[in-house]
Amino acid sequence: MPKIKAAIAGAAGYTGGELIRILLHHPDVEIAFAHSKSHAGHPVYRVHEDLRGETDLVFSDTFHPDPDVLFLCLGHGEAVKFLRENPPKSGVRIIDLSQDFRIRGSAGGEDFVYGLPELNREAIGAARSIANPGCFATAIQLGLLPLAKAGLLSEVHTTGITGSTGAGQGLSHTSHFSWRSGNIQAYKTLTHQHLLEIGQTLSQLQPLRAPQVHFVPWRGDFPRGIFISSQLDCSLSAEGLHALFEDFYHDHPFCLLSGDPIFMKQVVNTNKCMIQLEKHGHKLVVHSAIDNLLKGASGQAVQNMNLMFGLGETSGLQLKASYF
């Protein structure tokens, strides 16, 4: 069987680099080209220096319109522009990692399936175009999907902390080492852009009573990972909640329910989401943790590609956590 030809637009950034690392070792994929205007003509390992000796791939600023799958690892607003200026041939599958197509009815988003496999696995398998979820949105939603399906959500208060790679590769004062080191800051309080897709998803599962999610994100002093704590009222017992989550995720290989306290090092450098439930009286706290660049971006994109092409869902994603 011929290998899937994959193209990556925006291949010089963090998510593009993670895609290259995964796809170089994916048994069913070959990278057709890595697109970058700013680094055209330079070897990929000049930017992603850990790939020296792994590949001789060179960045190109020329778009070849006929890969089997096109990954868009571009800044928000740039994916729409790229597709307009570089229309792929009919039949090319598209996976966009920006927010351009996540919300139905915006920027042609009606043609894109929202790529959260634990919610839309069958639709993803039949899709031509995927809108990959946001990193915070993925971590929050995976902690809430079973509750929404059971109609148990009304009001949720969520806090979450993310590493500096969540801000992208472009340097800003809040991603500079001397600012981040030993520092934490709340930002976009109650207004984070991922709230729109979270609301869209939860309303899909719980349409008669759309829940309210109040989200306070934090910038953390570490490179990668997301840790979420969502608090809500819930009358269901701890045993009932555990059974609810186990039943919902029993055939989803990357979502793991833990009876012990979870922590971020369990998931960094993997496509896993760890989930822990804590019940105190009528209060439920759902903790969830992911790697923002993998399950929150490039790993989930490859998971979606696997589903689109009928491959094993975990193919190429058996990754070891950076535990020490």
Q: With the C-alpha atoms ordered 319, 320, 322, 323, is the resulting torsion angle positive or negative?
A: positive
- 288-321 burial, b at 16+ Cβ within 10 Å, e below that, comes to bbbbbbbbbbbbbbbbbbbbbeebebebbbebee
**Using an 8 Å Cβ cutoff, are 95 and 304 in contact?**
yes
CA distances from 55 to 32, 37, 46, 73, 110 (A): 12, 19, 11, 20, 37
264/26 Cα distance (integer angstroms):
25
Catalytic residue positions, numbered: 135
Residues in a beta bridge with 57: none
Other beta carbons less than 10 A from residue 77's beta carbon: 11
Tokens for 179, please give them: 């600012």
SS3 state at 214? strand
For residue 223, the one-letter residue type is P
**Using an 8 Å Cβ cutoff, are 289 and 267 in contact?**
yes
